[in-house]
Amino acid sequence: MSAYEQPPGGGTPGPEHRAALALGDDALVLAQRLGEWAGHAPVLEEDVALSNIALDLLGQARTLLSLAGDEDELAYLREEREFRNVQLVEQPNGDFADTIARQLYFSVHQELLYGQLAGGRGELAELAAKAVKETAYHRDHAEQWTLRLGDGTAESRRRMQSALDGLWRYTGELFQPVEGVPADWEALASGWRNVVGAVIEQATLAVPEGPQSSAWSAGTGRQGVHTEAFGRMLAEMQHLHRSHPGASW
């Protein structure tokens, strides 16, 4: 256990702490990926939309990481093996279809999970109640683009199917129980399959058939085992902060 995994008051991290870190890292890492799109989107409206979603996720990450400790220490001073995000959110942006497939898979997961948590008690439930509204918008955005790309041109259809297929093996991890997150994981998995399956079919595409995990991706992101691209992403994100130890910004 590293110093940054300890809760604010010291001591042994409890389940709430682990929960905030896992969900906070998901949001932080995906926000970082979406931030890379700024100025590169296919239309100006998408520059606005993708930054908007990045900003929502970053807001969620800040709230969650603050529950677990100092947001900047946690974001900037942990190393690859200490991050607890699922591998799905760290996947490179790829083309617009890859980004939309990643958004579809993740935002449906987040909307269902936060929908469950919002009914509970405690800080996680409060965050979830607020975030579920943003997440519904993110899901709608991803859903609409999945339909446009899937049922658009032959080219967009090919790209959208390939993006859905390529990311499929990272989706199993979304349903691995996280300590401290009081969710019904089986209901989450079946709800997710129903929603995602319906969108994919409406987009005239095929629901991917392969396994939803690989030997190294089933729940391993949550244990700090990530994909190669992640280290490079962190190097870029943390470089300036680490170059000025102790400085405030």
Partner 1 sequence: MTTVLPERGSGGERPGGQEAGALGVADHLAMFDAAIAADERIEPRDWMPDKYRSGLIRQIAQHAHSEIIGMQPEANWITRAPSLRRKAILIAKVQDEAGHGLYLYSAAETLGADRDDLLDKLHTGRQRYSSIFNYPTLTWADVGAVGWLVDGAAITNQVPLCRCSYGPYARAMVRVCKEESFHQRQGYELLLALSRGTPAQHAMAQDAVDRWWWPSLMMFGPPDAESSHSAQSMAWKIKRHSNDELRQRFVDICVPQAEALGLTLPDPDLRWNEERGVHDFGAIDWSEFQEVLRGNGPCNEQRVTQRRTAHENGAWVREAAAAYAAKQAARTAADTTDAGAAHPAGADSTGPEQHTEGGPAV
CB of 215 to partner 1, least distance (A): 30
CB of 207 to partner 1, least distance (A): 19
CB of 54 to partner 1, least distance (A): 6
- In the bound state with partner 1, the residue whose beta carbon lies nearer, of 22 and 65, is 65
Angle at the Cα of 229 (from 223 to 232), degrees rounded to 5?
Answer: 100
Mapped onto helix, strand or coil, the DSSP state of residue 22 is helix
Structure tokens at 33: 């990926």
What separation in angstroms does the CA of 83 have from each of 21, 122, 143, 227, 246? 8, 24, 28, 12, 21
CB of 147 to partner 1, least distance (A): 6
One-character DSSP codes across 112-131: HHHHHHTTS-SHHHHHHHHH
- In the bound state with partner 1, the residue whose beta carbon lies nearer, of 118 and 241, is 241
Q: How far apart are CA 224 and CA 90, in angstroms?
A: 12
CB of 119 to partner 1, least distance (A): 28
Q: Which of 112, 216, 207 is nearest to 168 (CA)?
A: 207
Interface residue list for partner 1 (CB under 8 A)? 28, 32, 35-36, 38-49, 51-52, 54-55, 58-59, 61-62, 65, 71-72, 75-76, 95-96, 140-141, 144-145, 147-149, 151-153, 155-156, 159, 236-237, 239-241, 244, 246-249
- In the bound state with partner 1, the residue whose beta carbon lies nearer, of 58 and 174, is 58
Q: Which of 208, 26, 247 is nearest to 131 (CA)?
A: 26
- In the bound state with partner 1, the residue whose beta carbon lies nearer, of 49 and 178, is 49
- In the bound state with partner 1, the residue whose beta carbon lies nearer, of 7 and 35, is 35
